Every structure is written in structure tokens, then in C-alpha cells.
């Protein structure tokens, strides 16, 4: 590779060194996973650290409401075909997480960065990406992130400013399409997934959006579903060269097929042949503990993460296939969003007739929702105890962000 | 009225459904159904005419652009306004309290005409009010406390024809001292949660207004536990 990263200025190099030291200390002292603290220290010492650390590398930034972590891991795995890839894991998806990841692999010529939607303009501005992936946009953490249309607006402005960047955009999502509509270079991907509840009206002119099958158009302006370059078919994808490739993913669900096709299109834009991209990303099986199964006292519990109505709706579809008992775990810490109104946007009615336990710090709020959904349930706030109270055999555990993080850490400690 | 089905109009859920306020309609429907009263939810989407024949109208919260579109639609298709003159029961949440008033002024200083259903005007406040709210219903209108989660920029001033719903103990509400509005059979509030799952007594008050019949409380342990938890967390 001739485009190896540029030498770091002294200030950045020192900041990176001190940052890495803090990460190591944080891990050694058992304070945290070290995913963010190092970057936080480095950014304090050198606010330009992100810009300097990405110079000379080819960067892809992945954003959207759902599927960021999985798609980032898939894309990093695929781009690994070209050389070493620096990437941020486990959802440390703000600038401090990016700086930490880049500092740890200073010589990697490629970087694949998962980015919180609210930070995308700053991160894209600083890192001069050659590829930006926008997966989907739907309501999530309204009290922290803000409303979907505000996010769409800020992504739109950011994307239009990017030079020499290919945008990989989901054309089955009205908000994403609007964000990427005027970008100089866009690759459109039909993902077949869509949460339409936030796009009854056009984000550009306010007139109603009309749907006809998979096609949609605005009744007031020229915004309409673009012709896709990549298509997600059933368990397969169709490339711009009309080649049909089987996905055969390890991960379940339609939304992971969508993530895989988005990641393949992005990898392709970075120079990885489509068939090689799919072959490599297929092996992703455990995304920061998601989808893994833990064994406890004769129960095998599959851990699933869902953070918002669109995510829960998809996950309830995945768990529908088998009628296993379900433990639902809800917290409402700052990272989850403190307002739980969104529970009423989730179709919990689909769980009628199942054995269900409401769990988590906000188990009673969930229990109220289940009561009105006429889903029989009991309340056990501790999710591990909830699993133990289920009949022996397979159990599905669906948890939101901090609930999942805490449960996953406790389960890992038990193993 | 006891023989007929109570129709709950869910007004523009595609524009004003951002904060789970659909839950308010579900709670009304289920609490009637569990008591043997026939009830159904009638969604009225953007682009459709608004009927004036429903018994209860539920209007939720929405984003700024959606709110502007909603008020435009509701003024062009004035079914809700006609229903109010026929004594329909109306619940307006968040955006609801703003668009039902005489006018609302945004952060950009543009004043939009409201629907003129309640004697109030709203304007943008300095900072966004976000967090848990606890308030005491005024004159024992229903069993308190009134609890919910607020997330709004607007502040609302009531005129003499509208009364506030509750006195604020924790949170901001309309202006830091009172929360919501009541005028005739229209109830407005800034509170999400959604508000009716959080406050079964308020839901039952609306049901009594719509059916003309007193109802007995329903014992739901999860609701009682959640209310106690939320009040503890807020104070």
C-alpha cells in the first residue's frame, strides 16, 4: 500500500501516546473497556486529533439509527481483503471512540468508523471519508438525539459538503434518500426494510409521500425512490453487474441481510469485489455479544439487542419463528433515552399467548404496556433471575441498550 | 349511546405520533372494552378528511414541520371543530395544546394561527423542557397526581375561558407553575409517557364524559407500581 498514514505531528503523537496510556490504565484498573477514555484524553490534548489520525488513510463512516455496529463490523471484515483496518468496536461511536480506535492501529491504511448520527457532520468533516454509509433513519432517543427530521437535515448538509466521497444510501428509506439526494456521488441500495412511520410527509416540502408497493414518491416535489444499484433479494443480493450472490449469513433476520448488502456496496466502493466482500462478511456471528447464546441452569438464552421501535419491530419478527419464552429487558438511562413513550410504538401484541417476563430497571413501565397489549406476564427486574425462572430449554432475551450491555457483561463474567 | 360503539378518532398518527401517543387511544379502547363497552379506534391519516361523528378525538405530539402540516390539514378539513360543537371529548397532547389554541409562535418568531378551540397562545421558551413531571389536578378533577414525561420548547399562556389542568410540583408544564388546559370537554397536556397509561384516572374521566356513565376503577397492579415508582424517581 502506498497510501500509508501520514506521520503524525508531535502534538498529536504525544496526545495519542497519553491517550493509549489512559486506555490501558482504565482497563487495568477495571474502570472500563478502554474504548473511549483514551480518545477523550487525546482529544482534550489535541482537538484536531481525529483529522490528523485519519490523514493518509482511506476512511469509511457508517451511520444510521439501527444496524451501525453490525454493518461496521461487516464492512471492516470485507475491507480486510485490502489491508489492515482500524475500526471502533462495541458501540464507542463518538469522536473519542474514533480517536481511540485510530490510535491503537496507527499504521492501518484503512479505517471503518461507526458513527452516532448526531456526530456524523463533525466526524465526516474531520475525517474526509471516501465512503459514507447511511443505513436508515427512524425515531430513537427523542430526548437526547432529537427528532428524525432534524437529524436528516444535518446529515443532508454534511453529505453535500463532502468532496470525493461515495454515499451508500438506503433508497427504501425516505429520510435517507432525502439526506443523500443532492450528494455528488451516490450508490443506492434497495434494502427491502423500512419503518414508514416517520415519513408520511416529505422531509423536503411537507407534502404527503405516496407508496405503491416498493415504490414511493412525494406528491409535492421531485423526491422519489431512486433506481437502486444494489438490490436485497430473499437471502441474496443483486449487484450493479446483475450478478446474484447468495448471502448465507450467520446472523438472523431481514435487517441483517440489509446490513450485509449495504456493507457489500460500501466495500465494493472501496475496491473489494462483491463476491469476496460477501464471503468475508458472512463470518460475522457475534456482534459485541449480540445474537450469542448463553447457557444457564438448563436454559439456553439467546441475547438480542433492540433500542427503538423499528429495532424492536424487526426483532419481534425474528423471535416469532419459534414460540420460545421471552424475557424483555428495559432500562431508561441517559444512553437509552429517559422517555419510555416509545414502548407504545412497539407491537408487543405479537407476543400474546407466550410466556413473557418483564425485566430491567423499568420493568413496571414495560408491564403496563404488556397489560394493555393483553400479553400475560410476570415481573422479575433482574434479567438473569428472569432467565432462571423460565422453563428449561430455549429462551429469547431482548434488551435495550444499557440493559443489554450490563446483562452481556454479567453473563460474560459468569462464563 | 350505551348500545352503540364508542369511536375513538386517532388524529393524524402519521404526523402527530412521534412520542407513542397512540398509546392513549389504546388505553381508552381497552378500559372501555374490559368494562363491556364497545369501542374502536378510527385512525385518520394525513390526506384524509376528518369525520365529525366520533365520540373521542386523540391528538398526539409531533415534530415542528409535522405540526404545521397537521394544523393546516385540520383547518382545511374542520371535522374536529364541528365535533367539538357537538360535545365530543378531545385529548390534545404536546403539539395538541399548541395547535388547539388561538396561535403558536415558533423559535423562528413566526406566528401560526391555531384552531381556536381553547383560549390559549403558545410561544417558544428559552430552553427545552425535558424530564419527568408531577402535578396535582386542580379542584380534584380526577385522582392525582398527574404524572408524565415532558419534552417541549413551547410555553403556553391560558386566557380566561380555559382553566389549567394541574399545579406543577416537579417539571415545567405550561409555564413552570401550571400544566395543561381544560375547556368544555377538551383536555390538553404537555405530558407524554403516554399520559393516559400513566394516569388511569384521567382516562376514566374522559370515558365518563364520552359515555355519560360513571365507571368503577380497574385494579391493575402494574399501573399502581409504575405510578409509585415514577413519583419516587421524580421527587
B171 in reach of chain A (CB within 8 A): no
3 state DSSP class of A34: coil
Residue A320: partners with Cβ closer than 8 Å, 6 or more residues away: A350
Q: Over 90: is that where the pLDDT of B93 sits?
A: yes
Confidence band for A40, pLDDT divided at 50, 70 and 90:
confident
What are the phi and psi torsion angles at B216 (to 5°)?
-85, 150
A113 and A52 in a single domain? The answer is: yes
| Grid coordinates given for A36 | 473511549
Supply the pLDDT for residue A24: 67
Domain membership of residue A288 (yes or no) is no
Mean pLDDT, residues A330-357: 93
Chain A CB contacts of B21 under 8 Å are 341, 344
Q: Find the CATH number of the domain harbouring A153.
A: 3.40.1190.10
Instruction: Say if CB A336 and CB A402 are below 8 A apart.
Output: yes
Q: Do B63 and A150 touch (CB under 8 A)?
A: yes
Supply the pLDDT for residue B3: 60
Highest mean pLDDT: which of A239-243, B71-75, B98-102?
Answer: A239-243
Strands B111-113 and B103-105: antiparallel
Supply the pLDDT for residue B97: 83
Mean pLDDT, residues A240-254: 93
A249 and A298 in a single domain? The answer is: no
Supply the pLDDT for residue A414: 79
Q: Over 60: is that where the pLDDT of B174 sits?
A: yes
Q: Over 70: is that where the pLDDT of A30 sits?
A: no
Supply the pLDDT for residue A42: 72
Confidence band for A92, pLDDT divided at 50, 70 and 90:
confident
Domain membership of residue A4 (yes or no) is no
Supply the pLDDT for residue A15: 74
A395 and A249 in a single domain? The answer is: no
A270 and A374 in a single domain? The answer is: no
Chain B CB contacts of A343 under 8 Å are 20, 23
Q: Do A208 and B30 touch (CB under 8 A)?
A: no
3 state DSSP class of A187: strand
pLDDT digit string, tens, across residues B48-82: 899 999 999 999 987 777 788 889 899 999 999 99
B153 in reach of chain A (CB within 8 A): no
Q: Find the CATH number of the domain harbouring A401.
A: 3.90.190.20
Topology of domain B6-234 in CATH is Rossmann fold (3.40.50)
Q: Which of A139, A149, A341 sits opposite B149 (nearest CB)?
A: A341
Mean pLDDT, residues A349-374: 97
Confidence band for B37, pLDDT divided at 50, 70 and 90:
very high
Confidence band for B125, pLDDT divided at 50, 70 and 90:
confident
Supply the pLDDT for residue B19: 78
Is A165 one of the annotated binding-site residues?
no
Supply the pLDDT for residue B2: 45
Range of the domain at A319: 293-414
Supply the pLDDT for residue A23: 67
Map grid coordinates 503523537 to a residue: A13
A226 and A325 in a single domain? The answer is: no
Supply the pLDDT for residue B1: 44
Domain membership of residue A33 (yes or no) is yes
Q: Do B151 and A344 touch (CB under 8 A)?
A: no
A266 and A151 in a single domain? The answer is: yes
Map grid coordinates 398526539 to a residue: B60
Residue B220 per-residue DSSP state: -
pLDDT digit string, tens, across residues A129-164: 999 999 999 877 665 556 788 899 999 999 999 989
B144 in reach of chain A (CB within 8 A): no
Provide the Cα torsion B156, B157, B158, B160; round to 10°.
Answer: -170
Domain membership of residue A313 (yes or no) is yes
Chain B CB contacts of A206 under 8 Å are 65, 68-69
Q: Which of A142, A149, A372 sits opposite B26 (nearest CB)?
A: A372
Domain membership of residue A141 (yes or no) is yes
Among A344, A349, A357, most B C-beta atoms within 10 A, so best to mutate, is: A344
Annotated catalytic residue, options B73, B94, B152, B188: B94
> Which chain B residue lies closest to A362 (C-alpha atoms)?
B226
Q: Which of B47, B64, B223 sits opposite A368 (nearest CB)?
A: B223
A44 and A151 in a single domain? The answer is: yes
Supply the pLDDT for residue A266: 98
Mean pLDDT, residues A395-413: 93
Map grid coordinates 411537507 to a residue: A206
Supply the pLDDT for residue A3: 47
pLDDT digit string, tens, across residues B42-57: 999 888 899 999 999 9
A129 and A245 in a single domain? The answer is: yes
| Grid coordinates given for A338 | 429517559
Q: Over 80: is that where the pLDDT of A311 sits?
A: yes
A183 and A310 in a single domain? The answer is: no
Instruction: Say if CB B44 and CB B73 are below 8 A apart.
Output: no
Confidence band for A316, pLDDT divided at 50, 70 and 90:
very high
- List all residues of chain B from 185 to 214 with a beta carbon under 8 Å from chain A: 192-194, 197
A251 and A308 in a single domain? The answer is: no
- Cα torsion A311, A316, A318, A319: sign: positive
A275 and A308 in a single domain? The answer is: no
Supply the pLDDT for residue B18: 72
B229 in reach of chain A (CB within 8 A): yes
- List all residues of chain B from 82 to 121 with a beta carbon under 8 Å from chain A: none
Supply the pLDDT for residue A412: 83
Supply the pLDDT for residue A234: 87
Residue B142 per-residue DSSP state: S
Provide the Cα torsion B69, B72, B77, B83; round to 10°.
Answer: 90
Q: Over 60: is that where the pLDDT of A315 sits?
A: yes
Chain A CB contacts of B220 under 8 Å are 368, 371
Catalytic residue check, B188: no
A37 and A104 in a single domain? The answer is: yes
Chain B CB contacts of A342 under 8 Å are 19-20
| Domains: count for chain A | 2
Q: Do B21 and A341 touch (CB under 8 A)?
A: yes
Mean pLDDT, chain A, as a whole number?
89
Domain membership of residue A287 (yes or no) is no
Mean pLDDT, chain B, as a whole number?
92
pLDDT digit string, tens, across residues A74-84: 999 999 999 99
Annotated catalytic residue, options A157, A339, A345, A406: A339
pLDDT digit string, tens, across residues A181-240: 999 999 999 998 766 777 788 889 888 888 888 899 999 999 999 999 999 998 999 999
The answer to whether the bond into B145 is cis (omega within 30° of 0) is yes
Q: Do A341 and B192 touch (CB under 8 A)?
A: yes
Chain A CB contacts of B30 under 8 Å are 372, 374
Map grid coordinates 407508496 to a residue: A211
Supply the pLDDT for residue B108: 78
Q: Over 50: is that where the pLDDT of B171 sits?
A: yes
Confidence band for A29, pLDDT divided at 50, 70 and 90:
low
Smallest CA–CA separation between B219 and chain A, in Å? 12
> Which chain A residue lies closest to B45 (C-alpha atoms)?
A200
Q: Do A372 and B17 touch (CB under 8 A)?
A: no
Mean pLDDT, residues B151-165: 94
Chain A CB contacts of B203 under 8 Å are none
Domain membership of residue A398 (yes or no) is yes
CA-based R_g, chain A, Å? 21
Domain membership of residue A355 (yes or no) is yes
Q: Which of B19, B69, B193 sits opposite A142 (nearest CB)?
A: B19
Amino acid at each position: 500500500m502506498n497510501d500509508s498514514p501520514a506521520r503524525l505531528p508531535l502534538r498529536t503523537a504525544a496526545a495519542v501516546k497519553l491517550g493509549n496510556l489512559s486506555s490501558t490504565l482504565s482497563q487495568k484498573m477495571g474502570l472500563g473497556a478502554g474504548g473511549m477514555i483514551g480518545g477523550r484524553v487525546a482529544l482534550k490534548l489535541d482537538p484536531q486529533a481525529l483529522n490528523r489520525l485519519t490523514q493518509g488513510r482511506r476512511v469509511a463512516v457508517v451511520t444510521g439509527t439501527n444496524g451501525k455496529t453490525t454493518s461496521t463490523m461487516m464492512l471492516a471484515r470485507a475491507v480486510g481483503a485490502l489491508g489492515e483496518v482500524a475500526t471502533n468496536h462495541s458501540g464507542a461511536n463518538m469522536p473519542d471512540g474514533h480517536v481511540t480506535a485510530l490510535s491503537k492501529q496507527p499504521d492501518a491504511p484503512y479505517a471503518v468508523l461507526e458513527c452516532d448520527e448526531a456526530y456524523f457532520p463533525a466526524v465526516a468533516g474531520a475525517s474526509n471519508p471516501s465512503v459514507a454509509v447511511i443505513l436508515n433513519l427512524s425515531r430513537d432517543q427523542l430526548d437526547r438525539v432529537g427528532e428524525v427530521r432534524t437529524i436528516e437535515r444535518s446529515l443532508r448538509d454534511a453529505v453535500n459538503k463532502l468532496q470525493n466521497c461515495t454515499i451508500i444510501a438506503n433508497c427504501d428509506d425516505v429520510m435517507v434518500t432525502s439526506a443523500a439526494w443532492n450528494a455528488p456521488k451516490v450508490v443506492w441500495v434497495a434494502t427491502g426494510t423500512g419503518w414508514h412511520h416517520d415519513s408520511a410527509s416529505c422531509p423536503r416540502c411537507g407534502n404527503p409521500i405516496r407508496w405503491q408497493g416498493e415504490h414511493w414518491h412525494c406528491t409535492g416535489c421531485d423526491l422519489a425512490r431512486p433506481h437502486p444499484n444494489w438490490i436485497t433479494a430473499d437471502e441474496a443480493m443483486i449487484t450493479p453487474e446483475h450478478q446474484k450472490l447468495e448471502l448465507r449469513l450467520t446472523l438472523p433476520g431481514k435487517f441483517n441481510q440489509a446490513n450485509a448488502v449495504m456493507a457489500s456496496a460500501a466495500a465494493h466502493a472501496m475496491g473489494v469485489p462483491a463476491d469476496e466482500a460477501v464471503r468475508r462478511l458472512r463470518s460475522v456471528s457475534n456482534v459485541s455479544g449480540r445474537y450469542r447464546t448463553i447457557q444457564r441452569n438448563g436454559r439456553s438464552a439467546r441475547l438480542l439487542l433492540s433500542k427503538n421501535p423499528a429495532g424492536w419491530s424487526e426483532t419481534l419478527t425474528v423471535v416469532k419463528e419459534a414460540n420460545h419464552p421471552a424475557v424483555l429487558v428495559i432500562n431508561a438511562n441517559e444512553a437509552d433515552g429517559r422517555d419510555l413513550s416509545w414502548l407504545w410504538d412497539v407491537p408487543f401484541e405479537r407476543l400474546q399467548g407466550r410466556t413473557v417476563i418483564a425485566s430491567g430497571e423499568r420493568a413496571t413501565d414495560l408491564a403496563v404496556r404488556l397489560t394493555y397489549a393483553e400479553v400475560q406476564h410476570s415481573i422479575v427486574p433482574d434479567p438473569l433471575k428472569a432467565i432462571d425462572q423460565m422453563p428449561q430449554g430455549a429462551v429469547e432475551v431482548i434488551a435495550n441498550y444499557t440493559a443489554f450491555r450490563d446483562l452481556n457483561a454479567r453473563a460474560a463474567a459468569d462464563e | 349511546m350505551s348500545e352503540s360503539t364508542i369511536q375513538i378518532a386517532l388524529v393524524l398518527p402519521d404526523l402527530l405520533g412521534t412520542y407513542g401517543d397512540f398509546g392513549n387511544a389504546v388505553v381508552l379502547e381497552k378500559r372501555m372494552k374490559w368494562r363491556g363497552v364497545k369501542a374502536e379506534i378510527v385512525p385518520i391519516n394525513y390526506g384524509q378528511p376528518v369525520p365529525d361523528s366520533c365520540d373521542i378525538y386523540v391528538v398526539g405530539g409531533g415534530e415542528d414541520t409535522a405540526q404545521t402540516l397537521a394544523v393546516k390539514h385540520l383547518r382545511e378539513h374542520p371535522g374536529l371543530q364541528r365535533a367539538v360543537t357537538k360535545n365530543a371529548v378531545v385529548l390534545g397532547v404536546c403539539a395538541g395544546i399548541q395547535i388547539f389554541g388561538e396561535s403558536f409562535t415558533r423559535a423562528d418568531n413566526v406566528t401560526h394561527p391555531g384552531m381556536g378551540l381553547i383560549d390559549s397562545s403558545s410561544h417558544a421558551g428559552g430552553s427545552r423542557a425535558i424530564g419527568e413531571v408531577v402535578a396535582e389536578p386542580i379542584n380534584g378533577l380526577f385522582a392525582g397526581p398527574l404524572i408524565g414525561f415532558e419534552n417541549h420548547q413551547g410555553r403556553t399562556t391560558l386566557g380566561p375561558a380555559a382553566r389549567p389542568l394541574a399545579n406543577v410540583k416537579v417539571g415545567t408544564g405550561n409555564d413552570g407553575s401550571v400544566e395543561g388546559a381544560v375547556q368544555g370537554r377538551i383536555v390538553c397536556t404537555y405530558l407524554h409517557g403516554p399520559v393516559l397509561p400513566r394516569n388511569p384516572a384521567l382516562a376514566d374521566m374522559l370515558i365518563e364524559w364520552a359515555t355519560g356513565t360513571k365507571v368503577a376503577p380497574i385494579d391493575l397492579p402494574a399501573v399502581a407500581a409504575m405510578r409509585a415508582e415514577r413519583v419516587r424517581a421524580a421527587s
